Structure 1
């Protein structure tokens, strides 16, 4: 991925729980089905969430939205629990993928997560929608972890 042509979407969110709990929520299939996908976020049904949580491992999150099955796929590139998680992000049968970086720092009463989603410049028009979606997901995650 040529970083010179990328558009970076950045979202920061504070949590009232430890960095470990925030980090682990990204790798727990049951939790992912509660905050990243499903009816608490949008009108969709979670069909299958599978992942191999290790560097080089992959994930597949299949949802049904507006009568269509969408398979969100990616590969874990870096894991440094509880500080950093990096993975690719794409949709099966759609060419290309992007990269998501999660950085978590401890705070006195919880933690702060900064998510950076590197989109190829071809997807620049989706930057606002991408930021809104991640913001909503992180808000739901904060509710689920409270």
Structure 2
């Protein structure tokens, strides 16, 4: 039996701006640091060498900890398609693949997002354990991306993001 499973998450989002503006927010560090795995006020570092084979990195600092997301650009076909890897080394050595494609619409564009999620298995897991982990990875990823995509939409359509406030 394999020591990992693969789950595919597919999502879409409409934007009231042209695809090149949304595409840019995926590869330009000054835009990435506002929505992608981070918020402007918690972002510690954002790098993007936006060429095929180039790397990207985001470091977010929350509650005294650094969270690092890294990857490599595999396909850059602006403003139609972007393929890049995604990894958070502090949590796992697995690497997901993200494919983002854009289609023009009368009022802007539609973005289709596909994440090939690698779900590592722990020793002794039953099929039930594997199925549960796959669902948790899928649903957790979906919830995170929904939040990020809402920020992305605000950023590209209005120029700013209304970040949620912490009311603890």
TM over 0.5: yes
For 1:66 and 1:129, the matched residues in 2 are separated by 20
SS where residue 93 of structure 2 aligns? coil
**TM-score, reference length from structure 1:** 0.89
- Report the counterpart of residue 137 of structure 1 in structure 2: 148
Contact 2:96 2:118 in 1 (8 A): yes
Once residues 100 and 137 of structure 1 are traced to their aligned partners in structure 2, the CA distance between those partners, rounded to angstroms, is: 14
Alignment match of 1:50 (pick from 47, 50, 62): 47
Answer whether contact 2:14 2:109 (CA < 8 A) is retained.
yes
What 5-or-longer segments of structure 2 have no aligned partner? 121-132, 158-168
Give the aligned partner of residue 70 of structure 1.
67
Structure 2 CA distance, aligned partners of 1:75 and 1:20? 20
Match for residue 83 of structure 2? Answer: 86
Note the C-alpha offset of 1:58. Answer: 0.3
Determine the structure 2 residue equivalent to 1:110.
108
Question: Rg: which structure is higher?
Answer: 2
Q: Deviations for 1:49-91, whole angstroms, at most 9, x for unmatched residues? A: 0110000000110111221111100000111111100000001
Alignment length, in residue pairs?
Answer: 140
CA distance in 2, matches of 1:141, 1:60: 18
Corresponding position: 1:38 with 2:43? no
Q: Is the CA contact (8 Å cut-off) linking 2:8 and 2:115 kept in structure 1?
A: yes
CA RMSD of aligned residues (A): 1.8
Q: Which structure has greater strand proportion? A: 1
